[in-house]
Structure 1
């Protein structure tokens, strides 16, 4: 799968680098007669890492509008005709912050009128839909930030660039690891009121729009997972939640870098696949994806945040083996990569990330030994070896790979991780994964630190064992 086309970012927003993620989870081979049938479909894992960028907060200031109420018991001076433009800009910024905080509190309290209090009547229908979707997702925090001071657009209209960090599925204001969006708004300053008259969708450069921005969502909430989707898919939510809860319990065993607050999964069709998160339609054979999201920092920049998962309702039925495998694989990515430190991704982390996600789906050696639980890509790996295509390295899958090559690369990654688990143990592997896949540290130094040998030496060791395991399958 090719990277999505990035839309031009709006003025004042940071320039995110292109999403970086594998080309797609390749089709599984037809199952052997002795095993359960598993549909040959593609799971796409988008392990994008949105890196920290910082906004330069420039101020375009001019006196305009008529909003003159005192804010915060006089803490912010109410402007008058003799004040400079900076006074009104500061006043409107503080007024916006106060109104947004009140609105957010209304959202968390289930008070629709209070939520709508910051919005002009012209956008009430849209904001009621967002309110209902966020309430269905059990929104537990919703913290606004004004990331750029108000900009006068003349005639009492002001532009504000906003950010919001949110958490889903917890208790109100409970500590959580949020995800965030950046978006543009317009406000009208008139007759002692300062109200939002336009709300843009979050930009693809901040992984937007999010489903709750653009859909009338229905949701089912479990102990560890939330499954949601447009109202037309409401009848599929119960079955999907059952699978998600089991997959979440499995993924939690690998969430050694920090607990996932709640696994969030959205069910989608073709239209939603093409629209959500700004990635574009990844293709007819794509079953699902996991996408890391940014968190908005106090200075209006971003750092890595949480992750959300999307599964296609028609390509992976909720009660199918393929749906279960998709869910286990994608939640494995969430468990191991959520809120990773900022770093530039390196080529060597591909096989670690995909290999461990495959292992989380299949099961670790002590839980799912290969002799008793055959790995379904084993025949693709064997065929790949027969054609003498493997160079002994852990090369990432690419958009130009044929089906056999792509599947074999995932299979080789699985065998490599499986071997490291089996030979050296889970704890060492997770330490190794943290250094390379989460932190982007030097592979050779990391390998020497954890396994006491060079990266090349470890790859040679793995290659020998991968061939043995594939041959014995």
Structure 2
């Protein structure tokens, strides 16, 4: 039978289709390949991240080898610590390693995270860009027919990652949560968390005021209280010997504050000042990914001292005593832009930089107004301007002129 019958009529051609349709070849579905062992491991990590975000501890621990109690305890602490800190974003990115044990999956994995209140940036593989991340080495072994995590260790790039090891990756922390601040402490410092939280909540009110000056509002502050063991470990532990508190940037997503309990807790006044000083660093520096502020250490620390002492004037703080002594010396300061510190700087050198920075900030506020002071700070620290360009924009004067005026102002106030 033909494919169609054709009838010819006047002025038209009519085509009737055949009652038997033409045969059409149907594509045959290809059999799907089972996921590779590495693909199964990646799926496990994705499921873990989802469990963390929904608060499912059992789901988070499900792929961890139960016969390794230390490993289970570490994963449990990580889960509870991150939940206590308000984790709001989690993602794993992994690549296979070819030097692992046969029959196991060995992978370099980067665990990226963000905490609530921030816009988590898009993924970047570099440790200093995108969300903060922990670089891991993971081994998955086939146990009872399922790939199971049997090893969690530092991965490729961990040694140069400034946020590793994080305080949340270790023993379970003790938490206290207020309206504006979360305090997380090593368990040995549990008795101090309420006192630290009370001081931090007061400091946050002051910090919020100055955050508005530089247009860098913070949704929430995080303060960690470290004993000596934790101080030498958290966020690398590579800090100057003279430091008592430290502000650690989490890439562009915010800044954490670390306090050295043994020194920060000596008096209530010292605790209040140190927290307020460190939150001053948070509001003036948080969100930056630049690393060129070290040359302006006098301003970094000076504005933090100004915020830390607020509302007390500089001449009503211990910095007055320091500078009164300095200006009696033959090598008295000749500029407000004190040279930056070496990690092994002695106490006098450290005190001098902090005190000069504090009085320099106070001078600029007194001579030109606090709003212009913070315009200068924002231009130098947040926008990367050199001090002279920033001074001309903020004060309408060269930095040399400001330096001369403020050096005389400081002398008049301490001698």
- TM-score with structure 2 setting the length: 0.79
Alignment partners' CA distance in 2, 1:427 and 1:164: 41
Q: Which of the pair has the greater relative contact order for Cα pairs under 8 Å at 6+ separation?
A: 1
Give the equivalent residue in structure 1 for 2:358.
414
2:223 aligned with 1:265: yes
Contact 1:224 1:263 in 2 (8 A): yes
Alignment partners' CA distance in 2, 1:281 and 1:429: 29
Give the equivalent residue in structure 1 for 2:26.
none
Deviation per residue, 1:352-410 (Å, 9 max, x gap): 111110010112xxx4445xx71321121011111132122412353465433432221
Contact 1:141 1:167 in 2 (8 A): yes
C-alpha spacing 1:142/1:250, structure 2 compared with 1 (3 Å): same
Give the equivalent residue in structure 2 for 1:196.
149
Query: What aligned pairs does 1:298-447 form with structure 2 within 5 A after superposition?
Result: 304-317=252-265, 320-347=268-295, 349-363=296-310, 367-369=311-313, 374-389=316-331, 390-399=333-342, 401-447=345-391
Contact 1:346 1:440 in 2 (8 A): no
Residue 201 of structure 1 and its aligned partner are, at CA, apart by 4.4
Give the equivalent residue in structure 2 for 1:151.
97
Residue 183 of structure 1 and its aligned partner are, at CA, apart by 1.2
Alignment partners' CA distance in 1, 2:112 and 2:204: 23
Contact 1:228 1:265 in 2 (8 A): yes
Deviation per residue, 1:255-298 (Å, 9 max, x gap): 23322232111111111111111124744x5432222233xxxx
Residue 332 of structure 1 and its aligned partner are, at CA, apart by 0.8
1:292 aligned residue (245, 249, 263): 249
1:206 aligned residue (161, 181, 191): 161
SS in 2 for 1:212: coil
Alignment partners' CA distance in 1, 2:291 and 2:233: 27
Give the equivalent residue in structure 1 for 2:25.
none
Deviation per residue, 1:118-137 (Å, 9 max, x gap): 43333322211222222333
Deviation per residue, 1:219-238 (Å, 9 max, x gap): 01111111111222212111
What runs of 5+ residues in structure 2 fail to find an aligned partner? 1-28, 122-129
What runs of 5+ residues in structure 1 fail to find an aligned partner? 1-73, 81-87, 295-303
Alignment partners' CA distance in 1, 2:141 and 2:346: 58
1:181 aligned residue (123, 133, 149): 133
Contact 1:218 1:231 in 2 (8 A): yes
Of Structure 1 and Structure 2, the greater helix share is in 2
- Between 401-410 and 225-234, the greater mean CA deviation after superposition: 401-410
Alignment partners' CA distance in 2, 1:111 and 1:318: 40
SS in 2 for 1:214: coil
Contact 2:188 2:227 in 1 (8 A): no
2:78 aligned residue (127, 130, 133): 130
- TM-score with structure 1 setting the length: 0.70
Alignment partners' CA distance in 2, 1:258 and 1:405: 31
1:92 aligned residue (32, 38, 61): 38
Give the equivalent residue in structure 2 for 1:301.
none
Residue 160 of structure 1 and its aligned partner are, at CA, apart by 2.6
Deviation per residue, 1:227-255 (Å, 9 max, x gap): 11122221211111101111111111112
Alignment partners' CA distance in 1, 2:34 and 2:355: 66
Give the equivalent residue in structure 2 for 1:229.
185
C-alpha spacing 1:439/1:279, structure 2 compared with 1 (3 Å): farther
Alignment partners' CA distance in 2, 1:424 and 1:97: 58
2:392 aligned with 1:460: no
Contact 1:179 1:307 in 2 (8 A): no
C-alpha spacing 1:176/1:188, structure 2 compared with 1 (3 Å): closer
SS in 2 for 1:453: coil
Residue 442 of structure 1 and its aligned partner are, at CA, apart by 2.7
Contact 1:343 1:439 in 2 (8 A): no
Give the equivalent residue in structure 2 for 1:251.
207
**Which protein has the larger Cα radius of gyration, Structure 1 or Structure 2?**
2
